Structure 1
Amino acid sequence: MAEPVAAASRLLDTLQLAERPRPRAVARWPHAHWLAVGTVCLGAFLGQLTASVTSLVFPALEHRFDAGFAAVEWVSLAYLLVLVALLAPVGRLSDLVGRKTMYLGGFAVFAAASLGAGLAGSLGTLIACRAVQAVGGAMMQANSVALVARGVPERAMRTALGVQAAAQALGLALGPTLGGLLVTHASWRWAFWVNVPIGVLGMLAGWFLLPRTFPDGRCAAVREKDSRFDLAGLVLLAGSSTALLLALSAASGLPLPGRAVAVLLLGAAAAGLGLVRQERRADRPIIPPGLVNTPGIRAGLGVALIGYLLLFCPLVLEPVALAARGVPTATAGLAITALPAAFALAATAGGGLLPRRWTDAARCRCGALTAAAGLLALAVLPAPGPWAAALPLLAAGYGLGLLLPANNALVMRAIPAQSSAVGGGLVNMVRSLGTALGTALPVLAVHLAGPATGGRAVPLLLAAVALLAARLSGR
């Protein structure tokens, strides 16, 4: 794969599409790095907005396409599968061809696919558009953490990562409310069309405000003789994640043969073992074992996966649980907004309430324990209505807002600068895997136990997982 990567890089130079510098006035401004952070926040906001809006349109899609919950779930899972498979390899490509180039291209692909998703006339077409949308999402997300971590002074890294996390949380917070309003007063199609103007704005902002990856703007693959790409690792990663989520979806009611779950789980395990072996012997692995096996990075990636599992499970589960109690979609959306709204507050300002001498590891543990308390309350409350459910969701969201920015800072400090996009891709890959599991687990619980029992059992399980995150933090 060396030649295609280098050839693509030379083509960019030939077409004079190599990264352009920022205007001099922007580059010379002492606080220009915050403009770059703001641009990255547009992508973070866009990615999480589409994730949380989509969960609110599931009932409308079931009615429009006459499909079951397990089939409609693939509007989310198709996106997440492609995202999980591409984040690490796109991070590798970004280190070669430029993070700014890939980030701007991601906005373009995402906006175009969002337009197509809104125009879809069948569930299959919608799922295909979501898969293309995920390609653009991977191009943005694989670079977002690296652009922030390598673009701000060391003293401002945790604050900058907190601002980025807050932008993600703002997208999550607006998603349920916006999704409920769009479904009620307009159409499910607007849940996808709303991404188009944000994508155009992101392209314009990135062109002028993001710094070049390389001093001369030329792709690293043009200068480097070794630009090999781990295609086998990409195939094994995609195979293992796809088989795992297919197994969960089959167990959740997707119409597949009865033995499909066991076969898929075995396939996921085999592909996972093959991936480990491949990455150990690959010259340019998409998941470098040297990074993953570093104790601080390994534990931090585990905490990132758990954090997004905890964040997305309630966002998918609570609309179903509240709908089973007769709560209107718009009201449920407003109540569920408590979780990401508290996340945004904690990610930006919540750390200021903690002692300044606390390390990032201590902040992680405090956040994980707070999230566990909120999720435990959600599990034991006696059949809460929408506003009673909002209180434990507030606590869980606030705890996650303390946990995730501090954990991201720990991970990114441990990653070498030359591998920042690969490391950022790994962080976002485990985030997306956590999101995918957080989407699939509630569907499985509702299918096996019903909305009422599942609505209690899942938060109880999540509280235990949050305690595990507290134990892993800072190790």
Structure 2
Amino acid sequence: MRWWTLGIVALGSFMLMLDLSVVSIALPQIHTSLGSSFADLQWVFDAYALTLAIFLVAAGSLADRIGRKKLFQIGFAVFTAASLACGLAGGATELSWFRAVQGVGAAVMFAVGPAMLSHEFHGKERATAFTAFGGAVGLAVATGPLIGGSLINALSWRWIFYINVPVGVIALVIGALWVRESRNPKAPPTDWAGLATFSIALGALVYATIRGPVEGWTSGATLGLYALAVVFLGIFVVLQRRLGEKALIDPAFFRNRTFVGISLVAMIGNAGALPSVFFETSYLENVLGVDAWGTGLRFLPLTGAMFVAGALGGGLIGKVPFRLLLGGSTLVMGIGILFLNLTEADSSWTVLIPALVIAGFGMGAFNPARAALAIGVAEPAKSGVASGINETFQQVGIAVGIAGVGAYFQHTVSERFTSSEAGRQLGADTAESAAHGISAGGIESVAAAAGPLRDKVLAAGQDAFMSAFHGAMTLSAILGFIAAVIGFTMLRTKDLHASALSTVPPDVDEDGRVRPDDEAGVAVGA
């Protein structure tokens, strides 16, 4: 039974993460098909990541109480139905709303899946299970562009969603027949007040960041949304402290230094990683003129690196301290992303290979270690909540990273293009409108609409895009380096729960010497 559980969790995780990465390859087609703006394209990404982040902790808590298998099945059903609706969407706003519903189903699967594995697998088999789980997540992120490109070229962008439907139906049947139920009857009731205040705070934060370049960073609307986010975040913190163990996010978790560390590493690391994939795709398709299938093929170095590193990284769990695994993987990722500054508007696509390979190794090694450590810091009865909290931080990082790095990108394009000679010749309003088109990937169409200024606008548009691209990738790399520093300095083996200590190595002190068993927290005789 437990291997069926691993199979269904890995499949579900693969599908939900695939729908986070596969969309990047379809954005130019969605832009053309639905007439969407740059902000619309960000929402296609962020509507999914946002609800995924918001509902993760509630899903973990609810699953512990009513049954992990039951809720996982419900989540897979919601995800499958919403995928069909996304494929049928007739406009960008409609697509974003259906993506938000899809994210709710994904939240349930992502929160509950690791807890199901933690319940079924113990000792060395747990490391194997989480290696497979991390490999599925990494493979989905890595193969998303290739799968998306093949579906778009052969059919249309809508099939990146339709493909989930038959897979979801098959998975639901397997889950119903061959997966065991597990629950924690002593789990506290879901904190709906906490869920509401957290949702409003996070939604206001992301919406303000996405709309900032359009509305203006000092506009009443933008500042009002940021103020709303601060107020509701404050209310949320007060509620959590009063409720204690019954809170949506138990404050006791945050007294564990390693739990805080892995949460920050997951959030900040992903805030750098996913925007890099988003903008690499845009560079290939909108600057180099590569089609969807060709873009997918050019991501194969990333795919291969993530696959190999995921297998190697999973195998190192229990042999290498988590702080070295997670600090090292995010450091490598940041270095790889920094190599994207080698690109130019007239470069060959091969200039991306060093970045794809190096960053791919970092991303691939990160996933299995992060999932195992997030579960390892909690007692088994609270594994669903612990998994949900960590995944929440990861998805918050993705949502805020896409919004924040995207806002920086859009602002830089606008500033660079409107101040160029071509921008001044177009006039302030026309240049600003053209800059929004360039940000959304319409460099050629913007230039074509400029008439006799076509060549000047094309050159200025490419210059603005590349300047913004380099700045955005430097920002993403810096986020990776910050995550690495946190990983190296905050993660400790001695903070893990006793149930996980038999599968991990002892910590070493500052001089590289192994700590005694009682200090490092390693079970004697394990």
Determine if the TM-score, normalized by the shorter chain, exceeds 0.5: yes
Q: Distance in 1 between matches of 2:64 and 2:5?
A: 18
Question: Alpha-carbon deviation of 1:296?
Answer: 0.9
Match of 2:94 among 125, 133, 140: 125
Q: Encode CA deviations 1:211-257: one digit per residue, 9 max, x unaligned.
A: 2104xxxx83xxx6x85331211111101110111011102437999
Which residue matches 2:468? 454
Equivalent residue runs for 1:31-46 within 5 Å: 33-46=2-15
Match of 2:380 among 395, 404, 417: 417
Contact 2:288 2:349 in 1 (8 A): no
Q: Is 1:154 aligned to residue 118 of structure 2? A: no
Question: Alpha-carbon deviation of 1:393?
Answer: 1.7
Q: Is 1:62 aligned to residue 24 of structure 2? A: no
- Structure 1 counterpart of 2:233, which letter? G
Which residue matches 1:231? 192
Q: Distance in 2 between matches of 1:193 and 1:96?
A: 33
Q: Encode CA deviations 1:250-280: one digit per residue, 9 max, x unaligned.
A: 0243799933222111211222222111100
Q: Tell me the percent identity.
A: 29
Equivalent residue runs for 1:162-177 within 5 Å: 162-177=131-146
- Structure 2 counterpart of 1:60, which letter? Q
Contact 1:79 1:133 in 2 (8 A): yes
Which residue matches 1:435? 398
Match of 1:97 among 45, 66, 75: 66
Q: Distance in 2 between matches of 1:90 and 1:410?
A: 19
Q: Secondary structure at the match of 2:214?
A: coil
Q: Secondary structure at the match of 2:320?
A: coil
Which residue matches 1:18? none
Which residue matches 2:483? 469
Equivalent residue runs for 1:393-408 within 5 Å: 393-408=356-371
Q: Encode CA deviations 1:299-336: one digit per residue, 9 max, x unaligned.
A: 01111112322331111111222234233132223223
Contact 1:95 1:419 in 2 (8 A): yes
Question: Alpha-carbon deviation of 1:40?
Answer: 0.5
Question: Alpha-carbon deviation of 1:106?
Answer: 1.1
Q: Distance in 1 between matches of 2:237 and 2:269?
A: 24
For these two proteins, the number of residue pairs brought into alignment is 435
Query: Which of 1 and 2 has greater Rg?
Result: 2
Residues 356 and 123 of structure 1, relative CA distance in 2, 3 Å threshold: closer
Contact 2:62 2:189 in 1 (8 A): no
Which residue matches 2:111? 142
Contact 1:88 1:287 in 2 (8 A): yes
Which residue matches 1:294? 256
Question: Alpha-carbon deviation of 1:355?
Answer: 11
Q: Is 1:81 aligned to residue 50 of structure 2? A: yes
Contact 1:117 1:126 in 2 (8 A): yes
Residues 464 and 357 of structure 1, relative CA distance in 2, 3 Å threshold: same
Q: Secondary structure at the match of 1:302?
A: helix
Which residue matches 1:343? 306
Residues 57 and 239 of structure 1, relative CA distance in 2, 3 Å threshold: same
Residues 185 and 407 of structure 1, relative CA distance in 2, 3 Å threshold: closer
Contact 1:58 1:69 in 2 (8 A): no
Q: Encode CA deviations 1:280-306: one digit per residue, 9 max, x unaligned.
A: 002511111101331110101111112
Question: Alpha-carbon deviation of 1:364?
Answer: 1.9
- Structure 2 counterpart of 1:138, which letter? A
Q: TM-score, normalised by structure 2?
A: 0.77
Which residue matches 1:327? 289
Residues 36 and 351 of structure 1, relative CA distance in 2, 3 Å threshold: closer
Structure 2: stretches of 5+ with no match in the other structure:
414-464, 493-526
Structure 1: stretches of 5+ with no match in the other structure:
1-25, 27-32
Q: Distance in 2 between matches of 1:376 and 1:470?
A: 14
Match of 1:243 among 204, 226, 251: 204
Question: Alpha-carbon deviation of 1:429?
Answer: 0.9
Instruction: Point out 4+ residue stretches in structure 1 off by more than 4 angstroms.
Output: 254-257, 354-357, 380-384
Q: Distance in 2 between matches of 1:358 and 1:301?
A: 20
- Structure 2 counterpart of 1:298, which letter? V
Q: Secondary structure at the match of 1:85?
A: helix
Q: Distance in 2 between matches of 1:181 and 1:308?
A: 26
Contact 1:91 1:422 in 2 (8 A): yes
Residues 437 and 147 of structure 1, relative CA distance in 2, 3 Å threshold: same
- Structure 1 counterpart of 2:118, which letter? A
